[in-house]
Structure 1
């Protein structure tokens, strides 16, 4: 099983708020501890199995989509990526600071979203090797440009 276009569109579509559309949809890796997941879950509008249920995961694969008002995350199981572990919708208005940095690897960006004293780190790769994810590079650029304006 690999991250794929069909799952990305279906999973993100299922949590899209009425009247909103996605400006970009992509896949990434959230790098956070249980405390951060719990804090993020506390400000989210959508609760799947609960952010705290993710436990002490350090990395979680996800599909993410940005709308005019929210950043939606569908966190998938690391072994079976067709299984949803959690869905989180974070209002852009709750983000107090956002940073975009180049990663250590070429084609990698690291996005830091700050929520007061809590921060969430997202690793984004320009390519989608081994999957049929479409327009990943373009959507990483769109996401990073939009985040930089927050």
Structure 2
């Protein structure tokens, strides 16, 4: 009985040490040189949240589609191949929540809803379009690297 208790204590002690080691990881990373070294925990978390939103494939396509002006929901759905109604709705809500997209509902029969970029969304547009252009320009090179990697790991 004493042996199992000792093992339990040892295991708990080892787990505590492991957890203590993990809690200092961010502090160690922040001390390392690099572009993120000067941001605090709150900023780093927010940056990840926004990059998750604007780096999402559907967000990029929606922002790019809205670049020419207001677009109706059905036109957005048609213009973005492969997006489900659910994903379109969820992504539009997140973009609207973050102030990147405006939703305008018109009291007509049938009802009409249009989405457009806000000034904040427009300020992000050039970055999104550059990322899309970079992807298109390097498509062949990236595919070649992927195929070479896949062949080497098979």
Q: TM-score, normalised by structure 1?
A: 0.21
Q: Which has the higher contact order (CA 8 A, sep 6+)?
A: 1
Higher strand share: 1
State the TM-score, normalized to the length of structure 2: 0.21
Structure with greater proportional helix content:
2
Bigger radius of gyration = 2
